[in-house]
Chain A
């Protein structure tokens, strides 16, 4: 549950976003990240975007998550 996933905001209405991570789309709230806007890469933790993240960092984390998923 500690896992935070980088994802791109592909839809945004008020603080309700749809984000895309590694081709998976899911809902996330941007309540905790006032500056979030459409197209941003954000770190999503337990359904909430908690920070912005850059492209390179996101790619590294996606790779790690793929490995952890193998483990789990």
Chain B
């Protein structure tokens, strides 16, 4: 394995020398972020090869306006909030789910199926499933809506915060940060959408896109492939996670997403409004849409004062450049979502970053 690492390191050095400037590679997956830090991959890279953590953690990219709607619904006596555990500590207007709402109104679930079961078990409440995540979790939400529709479970609805990865990568390059040289593409999202989905980024922006898995050698070899392409002046789509990812992806999962959802314009933290980047339930399933059910119009939220998660997610600053990092914002007392989630880049920096400022 050492030999493979040395070989990759030679490629990193060659790429830095050939390009004669800093190379910025962005990963777009929270699990990649954690693996990169946990395995000390940054320490194997030359100073000129910089890794940026992009909008790949579902909790982190969720707009403040969405968080505020969840908190608003959690305050209603007729609602029961069913959420993945990561969301309960994200601060919004008037606190967070964990501390500032009646505990009896909030339940942690491990899947959309658990949320649906809650609805069956609590017929006197309206169960609102906090449906966040990318294309990996969206099909699971669609399955729950399908079952609710077919079994007429009317006290179940979802607050869709589902997001699409490729439109975000495109918006990031087009509008926020043109200095990204290549993408290390997310492994599990690719299982669903297929590695072929990233061809759009390669063709439109001429950036190498390499799909990699999560174990350290996959990440190092993914970076090596990116450097090889940069040295040759190529921009191609390549998957080195072929044990799990196919070019076409999981067609069954894609079909159920397409059957129940349609792409809609939506808000992202840091990236603002991106056209056709979120998933909204189709009109015929609107009775399961929490926004429709409660007559709520989603508006962009106001970011928390001083929090720079948005800039971190665009790769514009490193976490330590935020004035709150390690001071008033820590994993114990998080201010922004990138410090809340265990997959968040600020949390990873706090734990493993070279310039951590533990108080």
List A residues at the B interface (Cβ < 8 Å). 1-4, 26-27, 29, 31-34, 43, 45-48, 50-51, 53-54, 56-57, 60-61, 63-64, 67-68, 71-72
Those of B293-346 within 8 Å (CB) of chain A? 341-343
Whether A51 lies near B143 (C-beta < 8 A) is no
Residue of A nearest to B343 (CB): A2
Whether B38 lies near A67 (C-beta < 8 A) is yes
Residue of B nearest to A48 (CB): B140
A33 to B243, CA, bound (A): 16
Q: B residues within 8 A CB of A50?
A: 136, 139, 188, 191-192, 250, 253
Residue of B nearest to A63 (CB): B215
A54 to B143, CA, bound (A): 26
Whether A4 lies near B342 (C-beta < 8 A) is no
Residue B114 CB within 8 A of the other chain = yes
B side interface size, CB within 8 A? 45
Those of B223-266 within 8 Å (CB) of chain A? 243-245, 250, 252-253, 256
Q: A residues within 8 A CB of B125?
A: none
Whether B244 lies near A57 (C-beta < 8 A) is yes
Residue of B nearest to A71 (CB): B38
Query: With A32-B143, A71-B351 as given contacts, are A48 and B30 in contact (CB-CB < 8 Å)?
Result: no
Whether B29 lies near A47 (C-beta < 8 A) is no
Please tell me which one of the listed residues B58, B140, B143 contacts residue A2 in the complex, with CB atoms under 8 A apart.
B58
Whether B244 lies near A47 (C-beta < 8 A) is no
A71 to B341, CA, bound (A): 12
Chain A min CB distance to B56 (Å)? 8
A53 to B343, CA, bound (A): 23
Please tell me which one of the listed residues A26, A27, A29, A53 contacts residue B143 in the complex, with CB atoms under 8 A apart.
A29
Interface stretch (choices B13-21, B105-113, B152-160, B279-287) = B105-113
Whether A45 lies near B137 (C-beta < 8 A) is yes
Q: B residues within 8 A CB of A32?
A: 139-140, 143, 250, 252-253, 256
Whether A33 lies near B252 (C-beta < 8 A) is yes
Whether B243 lies near A53 (C-beta < 8 A) is yes
A50 to B112, CA, bound (A): 14
Query: With A32-B250, A45-B136, A67-B38 as given contacts, are A2 and B31 in contact (CB-CB < 8 Å)?
Result: yes
Please tell me which one of the listed residues A33, A51, A63, A71 contacts residue B244 in the complex, with CB atoms under 8 A apart.
A51
Residue B200 CB within 8 A of the other chain = no
Residue B213 CB within 8 A of the other chain = yes
A32 to B255, CA, bound (A): 10
Residue B22 CB within 8 A of the other chain = no
Known: A2-B186, A3-B343, A33-B250. 11 other contacts (CB 8 A): A27-B113, A32-B140, A33-B252, A43-B244, A46-B84, A46-B111, A48-B140, A48-B143, A51-B245, A60-B215, A61-B214
Whether A54 lies near B243 (C-beta < 8 A) is yes
Chain B min CB distance to A57 (Å)? 4
Whether B110 lies near A46 (C-beta < 8 A) is yes
Chain B min CB distance to A6 (Å)? 9
Q: B residues within 8 A CB of A53?
A: 243-244
A50 to B343, CA, bound (A): 20
Residue B133 CB within 8 A of the other chain = yes
Whether B244 lies near A48 (C-beta < 8 A) is no
Closest 4 CB pairs of A and B: A47-B111, A57-B243, A60-B215, A32-B253
Residue of B nearest to A44 (CB): B111
Whether A43 lies near B188 (C-beta < 8 A) is yes
Q: A residues within 8 A CB of B172?
A: none
A61 to B250, CA, bound (A): 20
Whether A47 lies near B188 (C-beta < 8 A) is no
Residue B185 CB within 8 A of the other chain = no
Please tell me which one of the listed residues A1, A31, A71, A72 contacts residue B58 in the complex, with CB atoms under 8 A apart.
A1
Please tell me which one of the listed residues A47, A57, A64 contacts residue B113 in the complex, with CB atoms under 8 A apart.
A47
